[in-house]
């Protein structure tokens, strides 16, 4: 008998261990290179099948109207794909969200929520789509969604959709939320954004992995200088955390992170974070926990 609900579904955050802008396409999208790292801190989603065909978000998410929510849009796209493939519309879903990840934090929260929703609904609806199918469905909605569906540490190219598995560091991270939301468009439209970083290879990245923290010193985040200029709290968080290691901003901001070889080291730094900021620790993940939960082993 098919399941009618899936509760306590994890939607983990991601960190960009480096992020280089290597060019710009004619359509205005920027060409990127990055390594995406999943961490064990994120949102939690709950799904219940409905008796009708509506997709309903039962939790309020401040600043995100339901119609614009990536979760709702992703589930509707999967519904339409099911109709096309199977000739019938699957039942609707109620979605409740325990939101932990901040808006405009560079942690991929909205994209991660959408990816978890796609994996959960694909299972509940017995839709039969493979990971590659879901990635193709998610890409038009958000460039980070394919990574979360890919579900492991990845070297990313293009606009972030070309992914190859890569070994990441086995470390703990301290993440500081500077208390500002950084709109991605403000960073990518800045005149002083670096757009010509020299392309690198996976081998270049892998050679940068020396010891537990050596990897985080590889490359840079080309968006960081712009974000730090436009949003002083980001610059302040980078400066403070930088006293404890190689601090770096993730994504287009605003969150700042630093790697540590042990949980004890992370705890020591966490205790010193100024009270004006929210901060937390997280372990690097090698596999998306939804893959384990749903026993998804293919790409």
Residues 218, 75: Cα–Cα separation, whole Å: 37
* 291 catalytically annotated: no
Catalytic site residue from 14, 69, 113, 281: 14
Query: What are the tokens at 83?
Result: 């109709």
Query: What are the tokens at 264?
Result: 């004890």
3-state secondary structure 146-164: HHHHHCCCEEEECCCCEEE
* 144 catalytically annotated: yes
Catalytic site residue from 69, 113, 144, 222: 144
Catalytically active residues, by annotation: 14, 144
């Amino acid at each position: 008998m098919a399941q009618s609900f899936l509760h306590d579904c994890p939607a983990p955050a991601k960190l960009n261990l480096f992020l280089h802008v290597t060019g710009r396409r004619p359509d205005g999208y920027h060409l990127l290179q990055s390594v995406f790292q999943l961490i064990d801190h994120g949102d939690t989603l709950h799904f219940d099948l409905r008796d009708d065909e509506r997709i309903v978000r039962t939790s309020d998410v401040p600043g995100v109207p339901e119609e614009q929510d990536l979760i709702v849009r992703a589930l509707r796209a999967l519904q339409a794909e099911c109709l096309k493939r199977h000739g019938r519309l699957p039942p609707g879903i109620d979605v409740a969200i325990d939101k932990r990840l901040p808006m405009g934090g560079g942690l991929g929260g909205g994209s991660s929520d959408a990816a978890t929703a796609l994996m959960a609904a694909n299972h509940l609806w017995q839709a039969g789509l493979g990971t590659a199918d879901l990635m193709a469905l998610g890409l038009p909605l958000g460039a980070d969604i394919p990574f979360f569906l890919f579900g492991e540490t990845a070297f990313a190219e293009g606009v972030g959709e070309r992914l190859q598995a890569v070994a990441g560091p086995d470390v703990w991270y301290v993440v500081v939320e500077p208390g500002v939301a950084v709109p991605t468009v403000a960073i990518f439209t800045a005149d002083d954004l670096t757009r010509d970083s020299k392309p690198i290879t996976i081998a270049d990245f892998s050679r940068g992995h020396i010891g537990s923290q050596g990897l985080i010193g590889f490359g840079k985040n080309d968006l960081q200088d712009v974000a730090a200029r436009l949003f002083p709290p980001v610059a302040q968080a980078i400066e403070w955390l930088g006293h404890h290691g190689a601090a770096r901003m993730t994504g287009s901001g605003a969150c700042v992170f630093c790697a540590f070889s042990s949980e004890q080291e992370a705890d020591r730094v966490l205790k010193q974070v100024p009270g004006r900021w929210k901060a937390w620790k997280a372990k690097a993940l090698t596999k998306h926990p939804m893959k384990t939960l749903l026993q998804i082993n293919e790409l």
